[in-house]
Amino acid sequence: MSRQSKKRHILPGFHPSLGWTVIWLTLIVLLPLAALIGKTASGGWEHFWVTVTDPQVVATYRVSFGISLIAALINGFFGFLAAWIFARYEFPGRRLLEAATDLPFALPTAVAGIALTALYSPNEWLGKYLEPLGIRIAFTPAGVLVAMIFIGFPFVVRSIQPVISELSADVEEAAACLGANRWQTLRHVVLPPLLPALLTGIIMAYGRAVGEYGSIVFISGNIPFKTEITPLMIVSKLEQHDNIGAAAIGFTMLLASLVIVLIGNKLQAWGNRFRKSA
Amino acid sequence: MASFIDFRNPPGSDRRADFQIKATSEPLWVRRLLIATVLGFFAIFLALPLLVVFEGALAKGWGAFFGYFTDRAILHSIQMTLIIAAITVPANAVFGIAAAWAITRFRFAGRAILLALIDLPLWVSPVIGGLIYVLLYGRRGYFGPWLQAHDIKIIFALPGMVMATTFVTFPFVARSLIPLMQAQGCEEEEAALTLGANGFQIFRRITLPKIRWGLFYGLILCNARAMGEFGAVCVVSAKISGMTNTMPLEIERLYTDYLFAAAFSVASALSLLALITLGLKTLAEWENRRQFEAGQRALLEQTIEAPSS
Amino acid sequence: MKTPHLLLTTLFVVLFGMVTMLRADISLLNVSYDPTRDLYAEFNKVFASHWKAETGEEVTVATSHGGSGSQSRMIQDGSEADVATLALAYDIDAIYEKGSTGTPGEHLIPKDWQSRLPHNSSPYTSTIVFLVRKGNPKNIRDWDDLARADVSVVTPNPKSSGGARWNFLAAWSYGLKKFGSDEKKVRDFVSGIYRNAIRNGLPAAARASSITFTERRVGDVLVAWENEALLIKKLHGDAYEVITPSVSILAEPPVTVIDANVDSHNTRRQATAYLEYLYSPEGQEIIGRNFFRPVDPSAQAKFAGQFKGLDLATIADFGGWAKAQKTFFSDRAIFDQIIREMMR
């Protein structure tokens, strides 16, 4: 053991583990992504700019990034509620529900897409009750929203639940002793430590919904300017034999995702610091 | 740390003062309302789609349902799915363990970036996941001419599909292990080191038992995703039913061929797999919690029994 | 972790899989578009027994189906197709222009591929018709009715579906016939049709739109390939009716051998025979039975009852595919403009 490498290299296996990690990462992630960047660059700045600022493509950003945000916030609300009752309440079927939370995560995307379409089309299961009310879900942004809520839900629950379980009762009891009612206790004592985890969960649900393809394309109807999602634009460009355009849009999505990932990780780190001090 | 007071026992059953209970939980009507709301959400958003799948599968009766699983093309797709998972999951497991070891046991420059890069495939659209391999290994791609010259087929054949699936399922094992290993700390490994163990011994005897359940979660999630992946594989697949289709691709093929009952049947098989995965995961969580609580109880007993000095 | 066991299992599974995928006999890969599934399912079997009888060789033909454009892209990117049987000549031209063999300057197929087989390399043709629900409640007879305010149309997206481009051009042809050379009027007319369609989404492929119309029961009328419409009628009986408009377009889906691939697989003889067999009496019979219009006159006479006569425009009227693509379907061309105006 070399003394001069300070504390960080006390345990063995640094070089093999890091080396193997970097090799695998390069082969599977970095090299292909470099190809994406290379392909984009090969088309030149002009082509890139024209492709990613095309009004129809820009409309998809609104859908992919905008509706995902709404879905993520809705998931934040219901996910929080779900995590709360899983961690704090006892009722029949709790364990079943807890297990069911991960269903969207484990269910194949194509299956989810077909099922959602079969559910919400105007003449189907739910759709036929909603249609007379003037509510149409399939082939509208509402349908896209529903699909995005479906796939992002588990992320929020899984982010907050451990944190809620770890809350200690002492602080709440102390607050009650000092005269706070339940609502005040919740607002000022319980919720603040949960906020970072909640934010992390929301951002993760957001990132997932942005990139999703399979579950959304069936129910969205792919109406230009209304319900087209950005991944669909990529596929569309590929089918028009415009590989460079596809790469350009892919690259833009990648940049946006990278920003989301970095923010997500920063939030997680902040949340962890908060947790340790509790 | 988790409190010894168990929130889940209803009032009156664990002999605590009612005041304590009131201070740390909501009134009954609020609890009921929240539970009902969440149940409603689950029913609409999660249960119904699953019901649709199973109903569609049985549309032509149980006989037809089982009959589909004797069809050659469908059986082949199941085989393809299993093969791809069998390659992808172990490979990503090894990577995940290596990455978790490197990140949680050492500090080095670029650690944060490595962490972000590992998470990347989770956020990238699966369509891009497939596209980048075509850009790299397709005939018109960067390695295309070289591969062509050596008659190596990657895209539109099994290797390409394995790679696309690997990309998409890349982070799962690492993500399960990293927070776990970070929380567990490395004191025990360092102790083992001082006692003379070498790297592999430390890993096999100390680390592995500790991370067993985390590794298990990661593996089954990785597996579920690998078997269900559609978008990325769609882009790199040759779409030849009976030769290169995985189960999700076969579902799409059957669906597009107007064979809806068959499509939903295969879909329900995949959904069943998802449910089994969830079951295993829940089992693992119970086991974990049971062990944790047993440990806590043992600790408590020891503290009580220890002679006061 | 039981590493040795895991490795061995993996190895076994992989080998097992590879063995079952090995083919000892000659195999051809036919990369085709969506609506030809049933056609080639039948044709491949018949060709295999014909070839066996003639030469004693066992041939298995595998087919891949998908959107014509994405199938073309797949061949360009390296799919080992022996033959391509796509929806439009444009998609095969793209294979010539953009496909790569790995060696720069070399092409996958020759430039004059279309003249190698009779009838512009199209052993079958089809056209665009309407499919309506039983009893034709909205009384849809011709393209005019599709532009009516109370009619809901289902048609796929021309940007991603080959069939959809034929649909668009058929509608345009009718417009030209009705309004002459007044482009604005023709444009408004076609615009009206797509306005009635867009509410139902623009499915990405022909099959997807058929499914939307039949399974999801959306829309009053489906604009579809004639062979699709007739197939749906066969599957669902009198739940649907096929309405033939007065004017439509002659869709000529072409076929070709992919030279670079057949030469490297040594399957040129079989692949060429495969395509030529499509023109034979037996092949034309199968084509007619699967609701495609045969090109051979005697087969045409035999199936005359199945196909109605109508006024057919051709892609030549639009100056060929390259010109049509540029005028109507490329970025910011007419279709994009129509959609943009509609959605603003």
Q: Find chains touching chain A: ≥3 CB pairs under 8 Å.
A: B, C
From CA C71, how far away is CA B213, in angstroms rounded?
44
Query: Chain C, 53-112: which have a CB under 8 Å from a chain A CB?
Result: 67, 69-70, 72-73, 76, 94, 98
Q: Find chains touching chain C: ≥3 CB pairs under 8 Å.
A: A, B
* pLDDT of the residue at C50: 93
Of A224, A232, A239, the CB nearest to C70: A239
* pLDDT of the residue at B306: 65
Of C62, C76, C215, the CB nearest to B240: C62
Instruction: For chain A, give the longest Cα–Cα distance.
Output: 77
| Both structure tokens of B109 | 């420059």
Q: Is any Cβ of chain C less than 8 angstroms from the Cβ of A46?
A: no
Contact indicator for C73, C160 with CB cutoff of 8 Å: no
Which residue, among C197, C220, C194, C222, has the nearest Cα to C136 in the 3D structure?
A: C220
3-state secondary structure of C110: coil
From CA C283, how far away is CA A120, in angstroms rounded?
43
Q: Which residues make beta-bridge pairs with C153? A: C221
Nearest chain B residue (CA) to A265: B116
Q: Is any Cβ of chain A less than 8 angstroms from the Cβ of C339?
A: yes
Chain-wide mean pLDDT for chain B? 82
From CA B145, how far away is CA A1, in angstroms rounded?
47
| Both structure tokens of B110 | 């670029």
- Beta strand pairing call for C83-85 and C255-257: antiparallel
From CA A245, how far away is CA A51, in angstroms rounded?
6
* pLDDT of the residue at C18: 52
Residue ranges in chain C whose pLDDT is less than 70 = 1-25, 102
* Helix or strand run (H / E) with residue C195: helix C183-198
Based on C-alpha coordinates, what's the Rg of chain A? Answer: 23
* Helix or strand run (H / E) with residue A272: helix A243-277
Query: Chain C, 55-94: which have a CB under 8 Å from a chain B CB?
Result: 62-66, 74, 76-80
Chain B partners within 8 Å of C205 (Cβ): 256
In this structure, the number of other CB atoms found within 10 A of the CB of residue B251 comes to: 28
From CA C249, how far away is CA C324, in angstroms rounded?
13
From CA C44, how far away is CA C59, in angstroms rounded?
9
Q: Is any Cβ of chain A less than 8 angstroms from the Cβ of C216?
A: yes
Distance from the C48 Cα atom to the nearest Cα atom in chain A, whole angstroms: 32
Query: What does the pLDDT profile of chain A (278 residues) look like in tens digits?
Result: 444 444 456 777 788 888 888 888 888 888 888 888 888 888 888 888 888 888 888 889 989 999 999 999 999 999 999 998 888 888 888 878 887 887 887 777 878 888 888 888 777 777 777 777 777 788 888 889 999 999 889 888 888 887 887 777 787 788 878 887 778 878 888 888 788 778 888 888 888 888 888 888 888 888 888 888 998 888 888 777 788 888 899 999 888 887 877 777 777 677 666 555 44
Contact indicator for C209, C224 with CB cutoff of 8 Å: yes
Q: For B13-54, what is each residue's pLDDT tens digit? A: 555 566 666 666 777 888 888 889 999 998 888 888 888 888
Buried b / exposed e across B53-85, counting CB within 10 Å, b at 16+?
bbebbeebeeeebeebeebebbebbbbbbbbbb
Mutation choice for B interface testing from C11, C22, C64, C214 by most B CBs within 10 A:
C64
Q: Give residue B147's pLDDT band: very low, low, confident or very high (50, 70, 90).
A: confident
Q: For B173-202, what is each residue's pLDDT tens digit? A: 888 888 788 877 778 888 888 888 887 888
Contact between chains at C159 and A225 (C-beta distance less than 8 A)? no
Of C98, C159, C202, the CB nearest to A223: C202
| Both structure tokens of C177 | 């016939």
Contact indicator for A218, A275 with CB cutoff of 8 Å: no
Residue where the block lists tokens 């093999």: A16
DSSP state of C126: B
Distance from the C155 Cα atom to the nearest Cα atom in chain A, whole angstroms: 11
Distance from the A162 Cα atom to the nearest Cα atom in chain C, whole angstroms: 27
For helices C3-21 and B72-105, the axis angle rounded to 10 degrees is 150
Contact between chains at C201 and A227 (C-beta distance less than 8 A)? yes
- Beta strand pairing call for C221-225 and C128-133: antiparallel
Chain-wide mean pLDDT for chain A? 82
Based on C-alpha coordinates, what's the Rg of chain B? Answer: 25
Contact indicator for A171, B22 with CB cutoff of 8 Å: no
Phi, psi of B244 (to 5 degrees): -130, 10
Better-scored residue on pLDDT, C222 or B156: C222
Q: Is any Cβ of chain A less than 8 angstroms from the Cβ of B226?
A: no
In this structure, the number of other CB atoms found within 10 A of the CB of residue C60 comes to: 15
Q: Which residues make beta-bridge pairs with C224? A: C129
Contact between chains at A226 and C343 (C-beta distance less than 8 A)? yes
In this structure, the number of other CB atoms found within 10 A of the CB of residue C139 comes to: 11
Contact between chains at A241 and C94 (C-beta distance less than 8 A)? yes
From CA C19, how far away is CA C10, in angstroms rounded?
14
Cα B163 from chain centroid (whole Å):
18
Chain B partners within 8 Å of A83 (Cβ): none
Type of residue numbered C80: E
From CA C309, how far away is CA C244, in angstroms rounded?
9
Based on C-alpha coordinates, what's the Rg of chain C? Answer: 22
Q: Is any Cβ of chain B less than 8 angstroms from the Cβ of C156?
A: no
Distance from the C188 Cα atom to the nearest Cα atom in chain A, whole angstroms: 18
Give the N- to C-terminal CA distance of chain C in Å, as an integer.
Answer: 60
pTM of the model: 0.81
Count CB pairs under 8 A between chains A and C: 74
Nearest chain A residue (CA) to B283: A99
Q: Is the pLDDT of residue B157 over 80?
A: yes
Type of residue numbered C84: A
DSSP state of A8: G
Distance from the B306 Cα atom to the nearest Cα atom in chain C, whole angstroms: 38
* pLDDT of the residue at B19: 62
Q: For A103-150, what is each residue's pLDDT tens digit? A: 887 777 878 888 888 888 777 777 777 777 777 788 888 889 999 999
In this structure, the number of other CB atoms found within 10 A of the CB of residue A195 comes to: 15
From CA B22, how far away is CA A183, in angstroms rounded?
12
Contact indicator for B141, A35 with CB cutoff of 8 Å: yes
Contact indicator for C68, C159 with CB cutoff of 8 Å: no
From CA A54, how far away is CA B124, in angstroms rounded?
22
Query: Chain B, 62-91: which have a CB under 8 Å from a chain A CB?
Result: none
Sign of the alpha-carbon dihedral angle for B128, B130, B131, B137:
positive
Contact between chains at B128 and A12 (C-beta distance less than 8 A)? no
Cα C159 from chain centroid (whole Å):
14
